[in-house]
Amino acid sequence: MNRFLELAKNPLVISSAAILALLVIGELVSPGFARGDQIVRLLTVSAILGIAAAGQNLVILGGREGIDLSIGAVISLGAVIAGNVMNGSDAAIPLAFAAACFAGFLIGLVNGLGVTYLRIPPLVMTLGMMGVIQGGLVVLSRGVPSGNAAPALMAFVSRSAFLGVPGILFVWAAIIVLMALVLKRTRFGWSIYAVGSNENAAVLTGLPARRIRVLLYGLAGLFGGFTGVCVIGYTGNSFISVGDQYVLPSVIAVVIGGTSLSGGAGSYTGTALGAIALILLQSVLTTLNLEFWGRQVIFGVTLLLLMLLYGRQARLRV
């Protein structure tokens, strides 16, 4: 009984169960929902959210109320940069990735510096950054969409690369493995948990907590920029608010996956499952003909329920 309870409390088990349940519900509501090609399509959408959530996950793991609300704007920026760099040319794809990731990384570093050295609360810092980027994008593009994706990029995101599976899913799988290895098997990974769990204790074991936190925000920006390129590959061309829809879902995916919003505990594997569960929920709701705002309500309620479910963690006995 105890073991069963423990399993039932494991976020990985909960999100896997949610995924199965949603597939069954989807299939019941609309037969064909759980067909192979449908699942691949859902996974592709999940991958884009999942990659965005990787950055969110790192920042949240780092603690101190870490969160990156600028991630949507960074995704938009990445998409716009990539679109303009590529302008339909396959040869420019590597440059597009590099430019978008670099821009995102820089913005993330600024977030990190503001949060760490100027002690601006992450919520305020990244919200402010979101405004700055959005405003900047409007000024630069004058509100007119410009640039478009190279054909090979679009194929990478949505067409089969191997056995009906598009390339982006292989990339996502690689990211999942890499994140798990880094978090569990490297000093950097342990440092993230240590800093998120008790920054003072981390410093007293010799870890450069501030530098780590700045780097986490930088990486969040980098993942945001990368996601931006994937997004333009998915939609074909960019508009300046294309990333906005990822802000709340990226946080929810992290929470569904069992990462504590107070930092120091969680895994990216959980977040990846969380992203899949969230995308499934979204499409089941769409299948049920729920409009955008209705879905927002359900998302918000899901987040609150999960906080209730996971929120009560045992405190340290001292």
Partner 1 sequence: MPIATRVRLMQPVLRASDISKSFGAVHALEKARLTVERGEIHALLGANGCGKSTLCKIIAGTVGRDAGEVLIDGEPAALGSPHLAEEQGVALFYQELSLVPQLSVGENIFLGREPHTALGFTDRTAIVRETEALIARVAPVAGKGFVPDARVSDLSPDQRQLAEILKVLARKPKIIIFDEATATLDRRQVEVFFDILRELRADGVSSIFISHRMDEVFAIADRITVMRNGQTVAEFAASETDRYAVVYAMVGETGAIAASVRDHKPLEDTTRLVVEGVKAARLGPVSFTARRGEILGLGGLQGQGQKALLSGLFGAEPFLAGHVSLDGVDVTARRPADVMAHRIAYVSGDRARDSALPGRSIFENTAIASLVRERRHVIPGALFRERFAEVLAGLNTRYAGLDAPIGSLSGGNQQKVFISRWLSPAPGLLLLDDPTKGIDLGTKGDFYLLARKLADEGATVIIYSSEDSELLSLCDRVLVLNGGAVTADLSGDRLTPFELTQASYGDAA
- Retrieve residue 297's tokens: 């309500």
193, 184 contact by CB (below 8 A): no
Choice between 163 and 314, CB closer to partner 1: 314
Burial 131-163 (b: 16+ CB within 10 A, else e): eebbeebeeebeeeeebbbbbbbbbbbbeeeee
**What is each CA distance from 41 to 33, 35, 165, 292, in whole angstroms?**
11, 10, 9, 20
Q: Please, what is the minimum distance in Å from the beta carbon of residue 191 to partner 1?
A: 8
90, 150 contact by CB (below 8 A): yes
By CB under 8 A, tell whether 205 contacts partner 1: yes
* Span between the terminal Cα atoms of the chain, in Å: 28
237 phi and psi angles, rounded to 5 deg: -140, 170
Q: Which of residues 180-199 bind partner 1 (CB under 8 A)?
A: 184-188, 190, 193-194, 197-198
Out of 43, 59, 133, 207, the only residue in the binding site for partner 1 (CB under 8 A) is: 207
- Retrieve residue 284's tokens: 């089941």
Q: Please, what is the minimum distance in Å from the beta carbon of residue 61 to partner 1?
A: 11
Out of 202, 216, 230, 242, the only residue in the binding site for partner 1 (CB under 8 A) is: 202
260, 313 contact by CB (below 8 A): yes
Choice between 1 and 316, CB closer to partner 1: 316
By CB under 8 A, tell whether 255 contacts partner 1: no
Out of 221, 257, 264, 270, the only residue in the binding site for partner 1 (CB under 8 A) is: 264
User: By CB under 8 A, which span of 106-114, 158-166, 203-211, 215-223 interacts with partner 1?
Assistant: 203-211
By CB under 8 A, tell whether 316 contacts partner 1: yes
Q: Please, what is the minimum distance in Å from the beta carbon of residue 36 to partner 1?
A: 38
> What burial class does residue 35 get, using C-beta atoms within 10 Å of its C-beta: 0-12 exposed, 13-18 middle, 19+ buried?
exposed
Q: Which of residues 10-39 bind partner 1 (CB under 8 A)?
A: none
By CB under 8 A, tell whether 203 contacts partner 1: yes
User: By CB under 8 A, which span of 15-23, 116-124, 204-212, 291-299 interacts with partner 1?
Assistant: 204-212
By CB under 8 A, tell whether 111 contacts partner 1: no
- Retrieve residue 314's tokens: 């045992």
Choice between 208 and 311, CB closer to partner 1: 208
Report how far residue 29's alpha carbon sits from residue 102's, in angstroms, rounded to the nearest whole number: 44
By CB under 8 A, tell whether 204 contacts partner 1: yes
Choice between 35 and 184, CB closer to partner 1: 184
What's the DSSP call for residue 316? Answer: P
By CB under 8 A, tell whether 314 contacts partner 1: yes
Instruction: Give me the residues that bind partner 1 (CB under 8 A), please.
Output: 184-188, 190, 193-194, 197-198, 200-208, 260, 264-265, 313-318
